[in-house]
Structure 1
Amino acid sequence: MEIDYINGLKTDEIFGMSKYQSEINSRLGNIKLNRIEYPDISKTPGVNKIVEYFVYPFIVKKEVTKNNVKHVTRQDLAFLLELIDLKKTIVTCHDIIPIAYYHTQNPIWKLNAKGLRKAEKIITVSEFSKNDIIKHIRYPEDKIEIIPPAVNHNLYYQNRNKSILKKYGIKEDEKVILYVGAEEPRKNIQVLINSFDKLKSKISQIKLLKVGTPNYLGVREKLLKQIESLNLQKDVIFAGYVPESELAKIYNAVDLFVFPSLYEGFGIPPLEAMACGTPVITSNSSSLPEVVGDAAIIIDPYDANKFAEKMYEVLINDGLKEEIVRKGLRRSKMFSWEDSARKTLKVYKEFRP
């Protein structure tokens, strides 16, 4: 069986949506993917997006095969279904954040919404995202399949070792709070920094390590101003993008993972942290309670005082930490890429004649 795999930008970087696709793809067995992508021609922000909007539709139209299932792998490529007459279409929609959270009036996202409505099937990642799609896109519930992300347990497993932290100038005797993710308003990093500042008044030998790239105009600058105003320049470390093998080592090296996001379609990092034996504190918003279950401390994402209080409790209370770690290890094993691949294969087979 061959799938026209409409995947957007060709990149070797693995994070978020690309991680979801690559993990499932590697487990699809005899499925052949006709990858339809466009080249990474520039690191200048916005240039590749211009190619995506104005050139990629012509690439897709030229390279699709008439009788193949067409799998559009991201919700922000759904506009292609509005521009091209495609049959047997599946769209993987991780979330509709621009519509549901930011209330965008962007014309491209209006096209994406119309494209999503034209899909014959939507794959999404959580009950929360499914409900958002039904509510905001007005898409039929019975045509949505939930296939959640998971954890690669061959990579993310408990192997505690602090040596990787030397690379970031962190001393052996310092406690480390980790955040993994992009930088945009909904990620709520400003509250994390405020709560870290409050925590530092109780635990002086502590660092906040932030992994991930800035992806939203002006947010990094605001964060740096906030950090400077709190005199935390030496205590907040921006690691940028790191490859997965290094990320697994970082999860295993830190004392606590904090994920204060206001809105997530799913949220893979808390699961990866759990799989590495790191306790997790996260928000009680959007899909996150659905992801972590009872295996993490969940908090009102606007309450910096509560975040600071709970971070302190976990760091000084070994019994509490061990309980959260134990529950987290068990919870992470409930999410399997093999299971997600089987469900994806089942969706593909629904389109067989």
Structure 2
Amino acid sequence: MKIFYDNQVFSQKYGGVSKYFAELIKAIGRFDVEIVFSKTLSENAYLPDKFKTSVGFFSNIKFKGKRSLLNFVNNQFSKGILRKGGYDIFHPTYYSPYFLSKNIRKPIVITVFDMIHELFPAYFSSFDKTVEYKNKVLRRADKIIAISESTKKDLCRLTNIRPEKISVIYLAGSLSEIFSKKITVPNRYLLFVGQRKGYKNFTFFIQSISPLLKEKKISILCAGGGNFSVDERKIISDLGIQDYVFQREVNSGELKYCYQKATAFVFPSLYEGFGIPVLEAFSCGCPVILSNSSSFPEVAGDAGIYFEPQNKESIFEAISTILNENFDKEYFINKGYAISNSFTWDKTARQTLEIYKKLT
């Protein structure tokens, strides 16, 4: 069986969606499957170099329109594969409808990661076409994969797509095989990973616990997500916690070290389709404190310590709990290991392969 994955998502350097496809491609390639992959200009951190035409396309150089340029060029490569055929299943890596005019006669599988654009439109530009494009490709898809029951429920409710067209296949963590790389970190800290804007709820979170940081002498380390913006720096300064909140960019090995040394990993997001960092933290023996919304209880189960993400008192109490000297850290670490071990990319690949087989 030949599976064609296009390259549209690999114009991003980091991100959960490209991590999912990179891990899926690696895992499913270990079965009796041939991966069809077009030429790709990319500096993605997860995609194996053998799939890249240019390793480090304008690496470390940022300019307006860079991602649009990558998308345009990579789409031309993918269109070439679509014209030639030579594959059995087409699994686009995101929602661009560039292929809809190609009269594709082979089955198409689409993975839906979340319904964030539909649920939180105020956080996105009025020019953002994600919702429009997603609806177009979902109508054409022969099968849809949702990455959690929460995502499937939202997808059915917001699009009226039949539930039987959608299969839930969970993701997994990606740090178990990565070597930890030591870096300088604060003495005691809560770890926040990735983007901080909008529904990620970072500002509300630090406002909720700023007195606790100073009282307990504990820091917040933000791994990734870019430098603090002018607005973020002002908020941090106004709260008087500039000596307690830090940001640094990290690679996978450094991120693993950050999890391993953290007092806890915090995930205050208002909504996530799955939340790979939850499993990353669990696999590193790091307790997890997170929102009780969307897919989080489904993924973290009874290993998570939950709070209401829009309730300052709830957040304060949850963080206070793990900082209490009577907190049973080992209990939650062991629970986390058990949950992390139950999610594997091998399982993701096997279940995805079953869907492919049913369509051919």
TM category, shorter? 0.7 to 0.9
Note the C-alpha offset of 1:38: 4.3
1:227 corresponding residue in structure 2: 236
1:133 corresponding residue in structure 2: 155
- Partners of 1:156 and 1:50 in 2: CA distance: 31
Letter in 2 for 1:33: I
2:223 corresponding residue in structure 1: 211
- Partners of 2:273 and 2:219 in 1: CA distance: 28
2:109 corresponding residue in structure 1: 90
1:73 corresponding residue in structure 2: 93
Note the C-alpha offset of 1:102: 1.8
Aligned runs of 1:244-263 on 2, under 5 Å? 244-263=252-271
Aligned runs of 1:230-241 on 2, under 5 Å? 230-240=239-249
SS at match of 1:208: strand
Comparing 146-155 and 242-251, the one that deviates more: 146-155
Comparing 263-272 and 324-333, the one that deviates more: 324-333
Q: Does 1:150 align with 2:168?
A: no
2:80 corresponding residue in structure 1: 62
1:44 corresponding residue in structure 2: 62
Please list every run of 5 or more consecutive structure 2 residues that lacks an aligned counterpart in the other structure: 43-56
TM-score by length of 2: 0.84
SS at match of 1:350: helix
- Partners of 1:254 and 1:134 in 2: CA distance: 38
Tell me: CA distance 1:70–1:292, structure 2 relative to 1, closer, same or farther (3 Å).
Answer: same
Please tell me whether the aligned partners of residues 79 and 99 of structure 2 are also in contact (alpha carbons under 8 angstroms).
Answer: no
- Partners of 1:9 and 1:294 in 2: CA distance: 33
Counterpart among 271, 275, 287 of residue 267 in structure 1: 275
Note the C-alpha offset of 1:55: 4.7
SS at match of 2:90: strand
SS at match of 2:8: strand
- Partners of 1:295 and 1:112 in 2: CA distance: 33
Please tell me whether the aligned partners of residues 38 and 56 of structure 1 are also in contact (alpha carbons under 8 angstroms).
Answer: yes
Please tell me whether the aligned partners of residues 81 and 116 of structure 1 are also in contact (alpha carbons under 8 angstroms).
Answer: no
- Partners of 2:175 and 2:41 in 1: CA distance: 31
Please tell me whether the aligned partners of residues 116 and 137 of structure 1 are also in contact (alpha carbons under 8 angstroms).
Answer: no
1:26 corresponding residue in structure 2: 26
Comparing 93-102 and 332-341, the one that deviates more: 93-102
Note the C-alpha offset of 1:223: 1.7
Note the C-alpha offset of 1:156: 7.0
Note the C-alpha offset of 1:32: 1.9
TM-score by length of 1: 0.86
Tell me: CA distance 1:346–1:224, structure 2 relative to 1, closer, same or farther (3 Å).
Answer: same
Q: Deviations over 1:170-225 (max 9, x none)?
A: 2xxx3210011212200000122113312124212x2100012249xxx8332222
1:164 corresponding residue in structure 2: 182
Aligned runs of 1:95-106 on 2, under 5 Å? 95-102=114-121, 106=127
- Partners of 1:127 and 1:45 in 2: CA distance: 38
- Partners of 1:7 and 1:264 in 2: CA distance: 23
Please tell me whether the aligned partners of residues 94 and 125 of structure 1 are also in contact (alpha carbons under 8 angstroms).
Answer: yes
SS at match of 1:297: strand
2:205 corresponding residue in structure 1: 192
Tell me: CA distance 1:46–1:33, structure 2 relative to 1, closer, same or farther (3 Å).
Answer: farther
Please list every run of 5 or more consecutive structure 1 residues that lacks an aligned counterpart in the other structure: none
Note the C-alpha offset of 1:53: 6.0
Comparing 174-183 and 192-201, the one that deviates more: 192-201
SS at match of 1:231: coil
Q: Deviations over 1:148-189 (max 9, x none)?
A: 1112473379x9xxx935x24x2xxx3210011212200000
Letter in 1 for 2:91: H
Please tell me whether the aligned partners of residues 10 and 37 of structure 1 are also in contact (alpha carbons under 8 angstroms).
Answer: no
Aligned runs of 1:317-336 on 2, under 5 Å? 317-336=325-344
Tell me: CA distance 1:48–1:96, structure 2 relative to 1, closer, same or farther (3 Å).
Answer: farther
Letter in 1 for 2:201: N
> Percent same amino acid at aligned positions?
30
Q: Deviations over 1:9-53 (max 9, x none)?
A: 546945411221222222212322221354245543651442366
Aligned runs of 1:264-303 on 2, under 5 Å? 264-303=272-311
